[in-house]
Amino acid sequence: MRGPHNIWRLIRTGATFERTGAMAVALEAMQVTPRLRFAARLLGWPFKWLGLQGDLALPPVTRALTALGPAYIKFGQILSTRPDIVGEELAMQLKYLQDQLPPFSTSVAKAMVEEELRLPVDEVFSSFSEPVAAASIAQVHRATLRSNGQDVAVKVLRPGIERAFRRDIDAFYFAARAIEFVSPASRRLRPLDVITHFEGVVLGELDLRLESSAASEFADNTSKDAGFQVPKVVWDLSGRSVMTLDWAEGINLADNAAIDAAGIDRRALGARVLQLFLSHALRDGFFHGDMHQGNLKVAANGNLIAYDFGIMGRIDEYTRRVYAEILMGFIGRDYRRVAEVHFEAGYVPPDRDIDEFARALRAVGEPIFGLEATRVSMARLLSYLFEVTERFGMETRTELILLQRTMVVVEGVARGLDPNINIWQVAKPVVETYVARNVGPLALIRDLGQTARVLARFGPRLPRLVEALLIAQAEAPPTINARPRLFALRLVCAAFAVFAMGILIGHFL
Nearest to 318 by CA among 341, 351, 338, 289: 341
Residue 206's φ and ψ, nearest 5 degrees, are -85, 0
* 165, 200 Cβ separation under 8 angstroms: no
* 290 carries an active-site annotation: yes
The DSSP 8-state label assigned to residue 289 in this structure reads S
* 61, 26 Cβ separation under 8 angstroms: yes
Catalytic residue among 99, 168, 170, 290: 290
Contact partners, residue 43, CB within 8 Å, separation at least 6: 14
Written as one string, the DSSP assignment of 436-480 is HHHSSHHHHHHHHHHHHHHHHTTGGGHHHHHHHHHHHHHHS-TTS
β-pairing verdict for 138-145 and 286-288: unpaired
Residue 75's φ and ψ, nearest 5 degrees, are -65, -40
* 44, 17 Cβ separation under 8 angstroms: yes
* Ramachandran category for residue 130: left, alpha or beta (phi over 0 → left; psi -120 to 50 → alpha): beta
* Ramachandran category for residue 440: left, alpha or beta (phi over 0 → left; psi -120 to 50 → alpha): left
Contact partners, residue 411, CB within 8 Å, separation at least 6: 81, 274, 378, 423
- Locate the DSSP E strands across 105-167: 125-134, 138-145, 151-157
What's the alpha-carbon Rg for the chain, to the nearest Å? 27
Burial 315-339 (b: 16+ CB within 10 A, else e): beeebbbbbbbbbbbbbeebbebbb
Written as one string, the DSSP assignment of 299-365 is -TTS-EEE---SSEEE--HHHHHHHHHHHHHHHTT-HHHHHHHHHHTTSS-TTS-HHHHHHHHHHHH
Burial 159-192 (b: 16+ CB within 10 A, else e): eebbebbbebbbbbbbbbeeebeeeeeeeebbbb
Annotated active-site positions, please? 290
